[in-house]
Structures are given as C-alpha cells and as structure tokens.
Amino acid sequence: MTKTRTKGAPAKRKRARVRRPKVELSSGNVFADLGLEDAEELLLKAKLVSELAQLIEKKGLTQVEVAKRTGLDQPKISRLLNGGLSGFSVDRLFSILNRLGHSVEVRISAKESAPKKSHTRVLLT
C-alpha cells in the first residue's frame, strides 16, 4: 500500500544528521599537536613574536619604522608579524627586541622537575 499525498500538503522531509566535528584537547602547544619536530622552539618563537607585536602596537610604530630601528627590511617585518617564523632564530628575535629598546632576560629555575612538567614562558613586564 502506497501512501499518497493530498493535493497541497507538504511532503515530509527527513532530518539531515548533523555531524559534529571531532574535538581534540590541546597539549598547550599547537606545534606539538601538529606533530612538528621542533615544537618547543616554535612555541617560544611564536610567544616572542606575539609580545613583539604587542610592543609595536603599544608604541604606535609602523612596519617601516620597525624595519629602520631593527636593520631589517619592511617585508621581513611583515612576514614575521604574520607568523612567518622561519629564518628567525630565538637569538635573532631577542636582538630585534633589544634594538627596539627592550631588555630580554632568560631565567632558568634551580629546581629540577620532570621533563614533561618543565615549560618555557614569555612574560612582558
């Protein structure tokens, strides 16, 4: 027996199942989550660049002004501020911060902890 529709009555639609995206908790280091080899160094560089960008914004500097003060060209500053970390070592980032008039301090804790519990922090003081 086939059901027939009466004229003008809307056809019943099947509800499409909504697929929920798979959610994975972060380890706190997106670079490690992506399986990159030098994840700790990349995270440190990203944190340094984030602080650098905040300092540049606070000072109201343009990329051209930053380039002049740091001895880099504007396209390199642009690439750096847009997340292009390759070609910039941690030491080079320290030097850029110094050339903008900011001291960088590295502090190593005297207390030893398990490698999985040790971490690197970047603080703007």
Looking at residue 46, which CATH number applies to its domain?
1.10.260.40
Scored b (16 or more CB within 10 A) or e, 58-79 reads eeebebeebbebbebeeebbeb
Domain span at residue 72 reads 39-106
In degrees to the nearest 10, what's the CA dihedral of 66, 69, 71, 76? -10
What is the tens place of the pLDDT at every residue in 18-54?
A: 888 888 888 888 999 999 999 999 999 999 999 999 9
Question: Per the structure, how many domains does the chain have?
Answer: 1
Q: Does residue 56 form part of some domain?
A: yes
SS (H, E, C) 42-82: HHHHHHHHHHHHHHHHHHCCCHHHHHHHHCCCHHHHHHHHC
Q: Does residue 45 form part of some domain?
A: yes
The answer to whether the beta carbons of residues 83 and 45 sit under 8 Å apart is: no
Q: Which two tokens stand for residue 109?
A: 């804790």
Q: Does residue 65 form part of some domain?
A: yes
Q: Output the pLDDT for position 7.
A: 65
pLDDT band at 60 (very low <50, low <70, confident <90, very high): very high
Q: Does residue 10 form part of some domain?
A: no
Q: Does residue 8 form part of some domain?
A: no
What is the tens place of the pLDDT at every residue in 95-119?
A: 999 999 999 998 888 888 888 777 7
Q: Does residue 113 form part of some domain?
A: no
CA–CA distance, 92 with 64 (Å, rounded to integer): 18
Q: Does residue 120 form part of some domain?
A: no
Q: Does residue 11 form part of some domain?
A: no
CA–CA distance, 118 with 84 (Å, rounded to integer): 26
Count CB neighbours of 46 within 10 A. Answer: 16
